[in-house]
Amino acid sequence: MDGNWGKRVEYKPTHEIKGYKRANLTNENPALVVVVVEEVIVVSVVAVVAVVVVVEVVVVVVVVVVVVEIEVVVVVVVVVVVVVVVVVVVVVVVVVVVVVVVVVVVVVVVVATAATTTAAVVVVVVIVVLIVVCYVISEHCL
């Protein structure tokens, strides 16, 4: 240590250091990133929905059988109707979520690789429009 006091040290830029590699997912495989993010979100949404459906069915059966004491056939019809409605809602929600996720990831990749600010602005506008469209769809279809 003592022998180096007062000497100038030359620093190299990081890209000149041997073996240095910048961590950047967009350069590795953007398609893989999109697929992984999509899978995680879809699986989590489906899991939550499955729990909700099971709870709803159990509640409907218990209420109808215990409180109202209606015939079993009516109970089955009610349960089937509830399940069908819930499944339709879930499918719409999953589709909207997947569309939003794909758009956002694609936009992030495009913005990360865009050379001009104009391209980035266009991409952001497209994202906002798509989010509004998904919101309107989810509000009016659910």
pLDDT digits (tens, 9 = 90+) for 9-22: 676 666 666 665 55
Give the helix/strand (H/E) hosting 108: helix 72-113
The amino acid at 52: V
pLDDT tens readout for residues 44-73:
777 777 777 777 777 776 766 666 666 666
Tokens 């073996």 locate to 19
User: Burial code of 113-131, b = ≥16 C-beta within 10 A, e = fewer?
Assistant: eeeeeeeeeebeeebeebe
Write down the mean pLDDT value for the chain.
67
DSSP structure class, residue 3? G
Task: Copy the structure tokens of residue 121.
Answer: 């602005």
